[in-house]
Structure 1
Amino acid sequence: MARRPEQWLFGLIPALIVLVVYAAAFVFLAFQIDALAGWVTWFADDWSDTARKSARVTAGIAIYGASLFVAVLTFTAVTLLVGDPFYEAIAVRVEESQGGAPPEPDVPLLVQIGRAIKDTVLLGAIALGLAVVFFLCGFLPVLGQTVVPVVAALVSGYFLAGELTSIALERRGILRTERFARMKADRPLVVGFGAATFLAFIIPLGAVLLMPGAVAGATLLARERLAVGPQEAEVLAAPADGDSVWSD
C-alpha cells in the first residue's frame, strides 16, 4: 500500500464514513459513562465514598474497554460491508500483483449481500458476548488489568483476521465455517497477524488509516497460507533447486 498511495486513499473512503458514526457513538458513551458505571455498580451504593468511587472508576474503565473491543471488531465488519466494492478492488489488485486473481464467484449479488449481513450480525453477537465476559473479568484484582487485556487482544485479533481474510477466501468459495477451520490449522500466524492489526487499530484513527493495508495484508495471508493450507503453503514457498528465495 505504501507503494500505491492512490489505492490507500481509495480505501480510506468507507472507513471514514463508518468512523463518523462510531465517533458519534463514543461521544455519546462518554457523556453517559458516569450513569452507566453507577448502574452496573448498584451494589456499591452503601459503600464508603472512596470504595464506591474506586468501584465506579473501575466499572467505567471496564465499560470503555469492552466498548472498544466491540467497536474494533464491528468497525472492521461494518466497514467491510459498507466498503465491499472498494476492498474487493484492492484485494483483486493485490492478487494480480502476485500472479493473478481467481475468477469472481458465480453468486448472485443479493446472496453475497445477505451473507455479508449475516456474518456481520453473527460477529457482532459474538463480540458482544465476549465483551461482557471481558468486562466482568476486568474486576478481577491484578488479572483484570494485566492478563485480561492481553487475552482480549489475542481473541479479538483472531476474529479480526477472520473478517479481513473473508474477501479473498470467499472469492475462492471458502465460506465462514471452512474459513475458521483453515484459520484454526494455522492459528499462530493468524493470531499474530490479527493481534498486531488489532493493536494498530486501537490507536486513534489507526483503523481508518490502516484499513487498506490490513485488507492487502489479509489478502496475502489468505492467498499464501489459508487458501491452500499450511502444509501446501510450505511446499509452494520452498524455492526450487537453484532458485533464490529473494528472486521475486
Structure 2
Amino acid sequence: MNARPLSGPDYLIRGFKMLREPGIRLFVVLPLLINVVIFGTFTALTLETISGWINQVVAWLPSWLDFLQWILWPLAVILVLAIVMYIFSTVANIIASPFNGLLAEKVEEMLTGEDVSGRETIGMAIASFPKSIGRECQKLLYYFGFAILTLIASFVISPLSPLLWFALNAWMMAIEYCDYPMDNHKLSFKDARKRVASQRGTSASYGALVMLGTMVPILNLFIMPAAVCGGTLMWVERFKNKA
C-alpha cells in the first residue's frame, strides 16, 4: 500500500467516526467511563499543584530576565501538560487495558469480518487483567529508559526540553494504541515496537495528534477509545501483514 507517510492523523479522525458504530458502542462506553472517573479525580488533585510549579519556575528568574517569562510560561505549560497528561493516560490505560483490548478485537472483527481469538466477553476481559497489567508494565519500562535519556538531553539543550518530552510521549502514544490489536494476536512487545517503527512518519504523526488530544479538556475523555479504534485501523491496513 503506497500511503502518505504522514497520514497518521487520518487514522485518529477515522477512529472518532467509528465511535458511533452500533456494533462497538458498548465497548466504547466502558473505557469512556473509566476515563471520566480517573480524569475527574486526577484533575482535582493536580490542577492547583501544576499552577504552583509554574509560578515557582517563573519566580526563580532574576529580575533582569523578567522578559523571559513570556517565553518560559508557554514552554512550561507544554512541558507540564505533556508529562501530566501522559501520566493520566498511563493510569487510565493500565486500568482500562483489558477493555481496550476487547474494543480493538471488536473493531478488527468489524473491519475484516474475521473472528479474533482474544477477549470475547467482558468477563474474559476482566479475567485477562493480570496479563494486561504485565503488558502495560513492559511499556512503562520502555518509556522509563527513554525518559532518562530525554532528561539528560534536557539539561544539555534545555530550551528544547518541552519539545523532546512531547516527542517522546507522542511516540509512546503511537506504541500504546497500536499495541492492543497486536497483543490480541499474541505478538511480543518487541515485535509490536518494530512494526510501529516500520512506518515512523505515520506512527509519529498519529501519536502526536493523540498526545495533543490528551491535553485538551473534554476531548481527552474520548481520546482513548478513539485512539484504540485508530490504532486498530493502522494494524489492519499497515502492520498486520508485515513480517
What is the TM-score of this pair, normalised by structure 1? 0.70
> Partners in 1 of 2:150 and 2:56 — Cα distance?
19
- The amino acid that maps onto 1:176 is F
The 1:3/1:109 distance shift into structure 2, 3 A limit, reads: closer
Contact 1:161-1:218 at 8 Å conserved across structures: yes
Match of 1:112 among 131, 136, 142: 131
Match of 1:179 among 172, 192, 196: 192
> Partners in 2 of 1:60 and 1:220 — Cα distance?
37
Q: CA deviation at 1:111?
A: 5.2
The 1:135/1:55 distance shift into structure 2, 3 A limit, reads: farther
What are the equivalent positions in structure 2 for 1:88-103 lying under 5 Å apart? 88-98=101-111, 99-103=113-117
> Partners in 2 of 1:203 and 1:149 — Cα distance?
17
Matched, 1:72 2:72: no
> Partners in 1 of 2:57 and 2:100 — Cα distance?
37
Structure with more of its chain in helix, by fraction = 2
> Partners in 2 of 1:29 and 1:89 — Cα distance?
34
Structure whose CA Rg is larger: 1
The answer for unaligned runs of 5 or more in structure 2 is 1-18, 120-126
The 1:152/1:34 distance shift into structure 2, 3 A limit, reads: closer
Task: Show the counterpart of 2:56.
Answer: 35
Q: CA deviation at 1:117?
A: 4.5
Q: CA deviation at 1:206?
A: 1.9
> Partners in 2 of 1:104 and 1:71 — Cα distance?
32
Task: Show the counterpart of 2:173.
Answer: 160
The 1:189/1:226 distance shift into structure 2, 3 A limit, reads: same
Q: CA deviation at 1:198?
A: 2.0
Q: Percent identity?
A: 15
Moved more, 212-221 or 149-158: 149-158
The 1:28/1:123 distance shift into structure 2, 3 A limit, reads: farther
Count how many residue pairs are aligned between Structure 1 and Structure 2: 215
Q: CA deviation at 1:50?
A: 4.0
> Partners in 1 of 2:143 and 2:197 — Cα distance?
20
Task: Show the counterpart of 1:210.
Answer: 223
What is the TM-score of this pair, normalised by structure 2? 0.72
SS in 2 for 1:63: helix
The 1:221/1:3 distance shift into structure 2, 3 A limit, reads: same
Greater RCO, 1 or 2 (C-alpha within 8 Å, sep 6+): 2
The 1:55/1:130 distance shift into structure 2, 3 A limit, reads: farther
The answer for unaligned runs of 5 or more in structure 1 is 233-248
The 1:85/1:110 distance shift into structure 2, 3 A limit, reads: closer
SS in 2 for 1:165: helix
What are the equivalent positions in structure 2 for 1:190-229 lying under 5 Å apart? 190-229=203-242
> Partners in 1 of 2:100 and 2:39 — Cα distance?
16
Match of 2:34 among 14, 25, 42: 14
